[in-house]
Amino acid sequence: MASPKKSPSLGPIDLGPIDTPLTYAVLLELSLGLAAILLGAFLGINPRQHLPAWWDFTGILKSFGIGLTVGSVLALGMEFVSRLPIRSIQKLDRVVQSQLHMLLGPMSIPELVLLSLSAGIGEELLFRGLIQGWWMSLSETQTSLEALPGILLSAVCFGFAHPLSKAYIAIATLAGILFAVLYWATRDLLACVLAHAIYDAIICVYWKWTQAQLERKNRTDV
């Protein structure tokens, strides 16, 4: 999930005003998808071509199943990695925790879910639908070796869109490789959107829950 811009005021969130951090963050994420669609129209690439039709309930259900599985497994894997007693990983975890507190701390759980969904839509349209889709459009069928440049290109761009630290760029690139392989293997952009959104939502909601538990414990201790 691309880091939303810092706002000088992180007070209570209200979906009405345009000057709230949530609004800016959602608009930023969705603008990536809009940019992908507009640039794709200019280049003759349709980043939405591998989305199932709205009436294809079987296809949508299949996409949801794939997205839920991949997103959940990735979130569990990241949580496991964050607990490893490795100095560089622990340092990265502290950086991520600080960024989450600063940028997402005031947001409620429904707002975090909305932001996660916006990130899934905007970023997957850009990095998988447009960038990787451009490479896939060069050939109707691609072997894994032929697809590799497109996979790596979209993953590296995805990684550098998350510049919290060098280590985080590397981890985001690895996550981008997973999403890119999923897109190449399934030709299902909705599955990628949902996997991305579900991963972000699990990470953010779990973090919010742990912060609430910590605050409750601190109040009890006092």
User: Do the domain assignments include residue 91?
Assistant: yes
Range 86-121 burial, b when 16+ CB lie within 10 A, else e = eeeeeebbeebeebbeebbebbeeebbbbbbbbbbb
In a domain, 112, yes or no: yes
CA angle 106, 90, 99 (to 5 degrees): 20
Instruction: Give the chain's domain count.
Output: 1
7 within domain boundaries? no
Per-residue pLDDT of the chain (222 residues; tens, 9 = 90+): 554 444 444 444 444 444 488 899 999 999 999 999 999 999 999 999 999 999 999 999 999 999 999 999 999 999 898 888 888 888 888 878 887 788 788 889 999 999 999 999 999 999 999 999 999 999 878 888 999 999 999 999 999 999 888 888 999 999 999 999 999 999 999 999 999 999 999 999 998 988 888 888 777 766
d(CA 62, CA 52): 10
Domain assignment of residue 3, yes or no = no
Asked if 47 contacts 133 with a C-beta cutoff of 8 angstroms, the reply is yes
**158: in domain:** yes
Domain presence at residue 127? yes
**Does 123 fall in a domain?**
yes
- Look up the domain containing 45 and give its range: 21-221
CA separation for the pair 36, 130 (Å, rounded): 6
Q: How many residues does the chain have?
A: 222
| 186 in a structural domain | yes
